[in-house]
Amino acid sequence: MATFAPVRSAFNPAQPQNFEQLGVPESLVMDLVVRRLLIEGYSSLHGLSHSLRLSVPIVDAVFKHMRGQQLVEVKGMTGNDYNFTLSSAGKQLAGERFQVSQYAGACPVSLREYYAATKAQSAKVQVDRRVLRQAFSDLVVSDRMLDQLGPAIISQNSIFVYGPTGNGKTSLAERMLRVYQDAILIPYAVEVDNQIISLYDPVVHHVLENDDPDLDQRWIMCKRPCIVTGGELIPSMLELRLDEASGIYAAPLQMKANNGILLIDDFGRQLMSPRDLLNRWIVPLDRRVDYLTLRYGVKFQIPFELMVVFSTNLEPSDLADEAFLRRIHNKIYVEAVDPASFDQIFARVVQARGLQSEPDSAEYLRKLCLREGRTELRACYPSDICNILHSIGRYEGRAPIMTKAEMERAAALYFAKN
């Protein structure tokens, strides 16, 4: 669990106590119960309530129905709670329902409730140069750059970050998440036309402690997500993906990133063409809604309530036409670093790595980096050269050292000959 004490979202759903409040079909809940019982073998009302994130009254209503249909067998009681298992008829039903879907986790929320929750939790930030300076404190960022980032972040519209490679575009984009000081609620899963879409992903959703017993337990409290995808992005990652074996749909990247940030890194170098990606998202970026399709053709609308950041070292005009670039309101150029910034980055890297350097080491490295026809200083050079110095030290079985001769050696490894 993350140790973070954010402001709570205004969205605060109470735990449903009946099916009308629950908002999903009773048949779906019964399927969850029989599948869960088949997996556990033996359970109780409170046990199923915890496993399926449902209130005891709803589980009790399903239990009574199943008992009337002779689908369960009561094996005893613990206090006021029943202990039971599936009967032969119940196991047969569970086996049949398992063939349709193997999902037996937290009860999903309805698409309507998910849509409303996502819109209610849209990010609203107010930042100034001081706040941004703190958010980007581990980077060397000019006031000019902060003054471009500030309005872009406040707008919560898409951002196009471009410029020469190695100057921190990705690092800037990833740290934009730090301006958010609130928590959001996301559902474990969403129900659409009796199908279950798994949404919560522990890889990208960082869970926060929540001790509110009255909160609908189908929702989980998280930090706002930041999902980074690069050259591996393919069209199927932006659509629902059905696992044929389990019968469960996986949410696409943009759905997992709702209420947060989706960073398309190295834009233009994906397996899918920039034109295909931009055509796929021209409507979502403009109208803040997206459309997904179930395997059998049912199409439905989801919110597209996220900030998309495109990061590239290619020319914007080579990647998109004017119609698309118009929809990306914020275009930020990250230029090569000047000598003063380079020296500041160098000092931070050397201190962080515990290296001893001579007073003129930064100046000497600058000269090394600008030899052989190279005309620009890159923010990545100090860190990359120090990494090579560490590797040389490990190869020779000694501590890394930073002398002019060692920097020459590292630079010869790092820079390709022209």
Task: Please give the backbone phi and psi of residue 303, each rounded to the nearest 5 degrees, phi first.
Answer: -70, 145
**Does residue 75 share a domain with residue 120?**
no
**Domain limits for position 68:** 25-105
Alpha-carbon distance 265 to 138, whole Å? 20
**Does residue 272 share a domain with residue 153?**
yes
**Does residue 148 share a domain with residue 61?**
no
**Does residue 390 share a domain with residue 273?**
no
**Does residue 152 share a domain with residue 78?**
no
CB 343 within 8 A of CB 389: no
pLDDT tens for the chain, 418 residues: list them: 344 455 666 789 999 999 999 999 999 999 999 999 999 999 999 999 999 999 999 999 999 999 999 999 999 999 999 999 999 999 999 999 999 999 999 999 999 999 999 999 999 888 999 999 999 999 999 999 999 999 999 998 899 999 988 999 989 998 998 999 899 999 999 999 999 999 999 999 999 988 888 999 999 999 999 999 988 889 999 999 999 999 999 999 999 999 999 999 988 888 888 888 888 888 898 899 999 999 999 999 999 999 999 999 888 878 877 777 777 889 999 999 999 999 999 999 999 988 888 889 999 999 999 988 889 999 999 999 999 999 999 999 999 999 999 999 999 999 987 6
Is 2 inside any structural domain?
no
**Does residue 384 share a domain with residue 271?**
no
CB-based burial, 387-413: b 16+ in 10 Å, e otherwise: ebbeebeeeeeeebebeeebbeebbee
Tokens representing 235? 């069209």
Alpha-carbon distance 89 to 104, whole Å? 19
**Does residue 296 share a domain with residue 212?**
yes
Please tell me the total count of domains within the chain: 3
